[in-house]
């Protein structure tokens, strides 16, 4: 015999069996109620109900015997048949509550809105869910707030809202990006995508709340963020909230608060205006398609301001936004944008184990023997880093300096290099802004910096000073003074004046090391200018023509010899003169011992 006892003080709600009934282990025999909660008592073994010691409505105490079960008779003496469990709700079928959820989730799939998806594809664009599926590792994305609808119940039916405003136009959640390479912990990423097929990708009150929720998680858990920003900004049609202007939302401050704390990637395709553009502009890096249009106001806002009528295509085309520095990486389509985003995030996720070294001897031929001949300094960048690891940023703007992320023996680094093909490598306002912000980016996220120097200095002249050159170029010194990451400087050719100091974190002894190739030459200013200014009396004392030219060349040669790499190393103004083919080894050794300083609590990355 088996005694079934009450585990608590309760009231008997129902006894589901009668004397003589055969039961299986796990069958519900009694239902008790205590504190408004029902408790199921189940059979521990197979058996037959021999005695029932309670009735519905009766109050029982802990330990009271409620049922007595006898062993089931053997087949020889005639087994008591045990009926099959009924097939139905809670057994073989789908529970009603689960079915309701499934019916509701059906509207979240792109398949539920074939016409909207077809219109999207006709534009050559993908849906928000297609982009997220491409970005995140398979089956890793968990969606937050999927059941939200637009806050418009006072003007639209529930059925309409469910069918036409799924997720309130914002697909958001957490997924894994590059998980197979860096592991689950390093790859967790907050992903948010405005859905342009829902109310034109506008920002509603509920998708603001959803965005704030995910941004709070990103801040608390230090997770990188990827934002697909497309749409027309604020939504005036939400009527369920008692608001006038809706300027009290915290989304923009919450998004901006992530600056410098976690990598933030913005992706734009199609039309990105107003509030969507404001979030995009707070991103560390903006990846945009050639077909994108980005602006702080769309056509309606422009016209409303009395500034004329324009088509969306007239406002902030990619050709303009790439050249002025808004767009960091310009791509052909969303598939390429997602690929670049995955690659960009990888530099902040850790070191990779597999890499291929370039041929080091190729660096010996990067700088021409003719000291006046221009060359492409990007070849030097490619020759120093792991093959295929170079990702150039802001290529349309600040052409005097190249900036890129890359890897050296699998370690992520930031590279910047003067561009002799633009103004001879002189640093103008745009190049200084570009370089200063890049230093902030690498500093905030702990990437060591490699600076390749070939500059005659800061750009000068009346036209240049009209661009506020003094303020812009000084950013290099102010930002460099706060760097916590190690800097490694290599002078390829010209290392002149304040510009060269700006490229070496403020001075030649500020980096972990400053080394030079044999082709390097140094001076407080360009050698030609130094000769003309420093030896003006001597030159003017000689008749113009061949004799003066010969003296100039003689003095220039002397200056060049005195300012060449070896004399600089002799006086310890630089740390070494090295074979270009040995540069990668120097950098590898320096990186192996790097120790970034602690992060400042108030760090952020300038949006410009």
Region 23-27: mean pLDDT is: 91
pLDDT value, residue 538 = 83
For residues 132 and 191, the answer to whether their CB atoms sit within 8 Å is yes
The pLDDT score that the predictor gives to residue 82 is 56
Query: Do 399 and 451 belong together in one domain?
Result: yes
- Encode burial over 235-274: b for 16+ CB neighbours within 10 A, e otherwise: beebeeeeeeeeeebebbebbbbbbbbbbbbbbbbbbbbb
User: Among residues 315, 346, 377, which one ends one of the domains?
Assistant: 346
Cα distance between residue 13 and residue 16, in whole Å: 10
The reply to whether 470 and 543 lie within a common domain is no
Distance separating alpha carbons of residues 474 and 463, to the nearest angstrom = 18
pLDDT of residue 370: 93
Our CA dihedral for 81, 86, 87, 93, rounded to 10 degrees, sits at -140
Residue 600 placed within a domain: no
Considering the domain boundaries, does residue 365 fall inside one?
yes
Residue 422 in this model has a pLDDT that exceeds 70: yes
Q: Is residue 261 part of a domain?
A: yes
Q: Which pLDDT score, from 0 to 100, does residue 552 have?
A: 85
38: number of Cβ within 10 Å: 11
- In this prediction the pTM is 0.86
Residues 475, 452, single domain; the answer is: yes
Report the residue count for the chain: 608
Average pLDDT over residues 488-503: 96
Quick one: 68 exposed, middle or buried, by C-beta within 10 A (0-12, 13-18, 19+)? Answer: middle
**How confident is the prediction for the chain on average, in pLDDT?**
91
User: pLDDT (tens digit, 9 = 90+) per residue, 339-363?
Assistant: 999 999 999 999 999 999 999 999 9
- Where in the sequence is the domain holding 389, given as residue range(s)? 360-520+564-592
Residues 154 and 59 in one domain: no
- The three-class DSSP label of residue 496 is strand
Say if residue 496's pLDDT is above 70.
Answer: yes
Cβ atoms of 286 and 328 within 8 Å: the answer is yes
10 Å CB burial of residue 154 (0-12, 13-18, 19+) is: exposed
CATH of the domain at 501: 3.90.226.10
Count of structural domains, the chain: 4
Per-residue pLDDT tens for 522-554? 987 777 777 777 788 888 888 888 888 888 888
Here the tokens at position 507 are: 């001075």
- The residues, ordered by sequence, that sit 6+ positions from 59 with a Cβ below 8 Å of its Cβ are 9, 10, 11, 12
Q: Is 607 domain-assigned?
A: no
First to last CA, the chain: 81
Question: Are residues 417 and 428 part of one domain?
Answer: yes
260-308 pLDDT, tens digit each: 999 999 999 999 999 999 999 999 999 999 999 999 988 887 877 888 8
512 and 530 belong to one structural domain = no
The closest of 460, 525, 492 to 374, measured between CA atoms, is 492
Phi (first) and psi of residue 511, to 5 degrees: -70, 165
Position 541 scores a pLDDT of 84
CA 522/CA 500 separation, integer angstroms? 9
Residues 107 and 124 in one domain: yes
Report the percentage of the chain scoring pLDDT > 90: 73
Residues 385 and 491 in one domain: yes
Regarding whether 159 and 116 lie in a shared domain, the answer is: yes
Q: Decide: 590 and 408 in contact? Cβ < 8 Å.
A: no
Judgement on whether residues 292 and 148 belong to the same structural domain of the protein: yes
Task: Count other Cβ atoms within 10 Å, centred on residue 168.
Answer: 30
Q: Note whether residue 351 is domain-resident.
A: no
């Amino acid at each position: 015999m088996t005694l079934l006892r009450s585990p608590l003080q309760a009231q008997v709600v129902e006894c589901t069996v009668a004397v003589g009934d055969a039961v299986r282990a796990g069958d519900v025999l009694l239902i008790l109620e205590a504190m408004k909660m029902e408790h199921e008592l189940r059979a521990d073994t197979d058996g037959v109900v021999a005695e029932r010691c309670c009735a519905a409505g009766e109050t029982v105490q802990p330990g009271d015997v409620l049922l007595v079960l006898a062993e089931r008779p053997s087949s020889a003496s005639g087994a008591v048949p045990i009926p099959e469990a009924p097939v139905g709700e809670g057994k073989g079928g789908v529970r009603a509550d689960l079915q309701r959820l499934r019916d509701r989730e059906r509207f979240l799939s792109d398949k539920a809105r074939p016409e909207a998806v077809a219109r999207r594809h006709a534009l050559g664009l993908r849906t928000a869910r297609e982009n997220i599926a491409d970005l995140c590792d398979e089956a890793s994305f968990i969606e937050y707030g999927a059941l939200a609808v637009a806050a418009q119940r006072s003007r639209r039916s529930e059925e309409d809202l469910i069918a036409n405003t799924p997720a309130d136009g914002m697909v958001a959640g957490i997924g894994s990006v590059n998980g197979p390479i860096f592991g689950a912990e390093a790859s967790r990423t907050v992903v948010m995508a405005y859905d342009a097929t829902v109310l034109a990708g506008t920002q509603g009150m509920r998708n603001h709340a959803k965005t704030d929720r995910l941004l709070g998680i990103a801040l608390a858990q230090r997770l990188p963020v990827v934002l697909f920003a497309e749409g027309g900004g604020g939504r005036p049609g939400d009527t369920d909230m008692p608001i006038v202007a809706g300027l009290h939302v915290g989304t923009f401050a919450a998004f901006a608060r992530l600056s410098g704390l976690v990598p933030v990637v913005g992706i734009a395709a199609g039309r990105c205006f107003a509030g969507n553009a404001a979030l995009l502009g707070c991103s560390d890096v903006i990846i945009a398609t050639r077909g994108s249009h980005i602006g702080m106001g769309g056509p309606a806002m422009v016209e409303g301001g009395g500034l004329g009528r324009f088509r969306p295509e007239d406002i902030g085309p990619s050709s303009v936004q790439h050249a002025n520095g808004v767009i960091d990486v310009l791509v052909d389509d969303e598939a390429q944008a997602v690929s670049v985003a995955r690659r960009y995030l990888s530099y902040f996720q850790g070191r990779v184990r597999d890499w291929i070294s370039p041929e080091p001897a190729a660096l010996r031929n990067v700088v021409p023997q003719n000291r006046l001949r221009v060359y492409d300094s990007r070849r030097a960048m490619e020759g120093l880093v792991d093959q295929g690891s170079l990702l150039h940023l802001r290529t349309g703007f600040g052409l005097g300096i190249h900036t890129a992320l890359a890897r050296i023996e699998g370690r992520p680094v930031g590279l910047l290099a003067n561009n002799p093909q633009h103004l001879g490598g002189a640093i103008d306002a745009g190049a200084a802004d570009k370089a200063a912000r890049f230093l902030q980016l690498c500093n905030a996220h702990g990437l060591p910096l490699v600076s390749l120097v070939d500059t005659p200095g800061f750009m000068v002249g009346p036209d240049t000073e009209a661009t506020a050159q003094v303020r812009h170029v000084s950013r290099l010194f102010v930002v460099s003074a706060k760097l916590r990451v190690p800097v490694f400087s290599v002078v390829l050719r010209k290392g002149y004046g304040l510009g060269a100091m700006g490229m070496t974190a403020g001075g030649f002894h500020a980096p972990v090391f400053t080394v030079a190739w044999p082709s390097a030459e140094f001076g407080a200013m360009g050698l030609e200018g130094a000769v003309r200014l420093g030896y003006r009396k001597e030159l003017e004392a000689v008749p113009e023509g061949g004799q003066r030219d010969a003296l100039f060349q003689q003095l220039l040669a002397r200056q060049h010899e005195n300012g060449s790499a070896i004399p600089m190393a002799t006086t310890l103004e630089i740390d070494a003169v090295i074979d270009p083919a040995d540069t990668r080894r120097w950098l590898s050794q320096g990186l192996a011992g790097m120790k970034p300083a602690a992060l400042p609590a108030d760090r952020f990355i300038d949006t410009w």
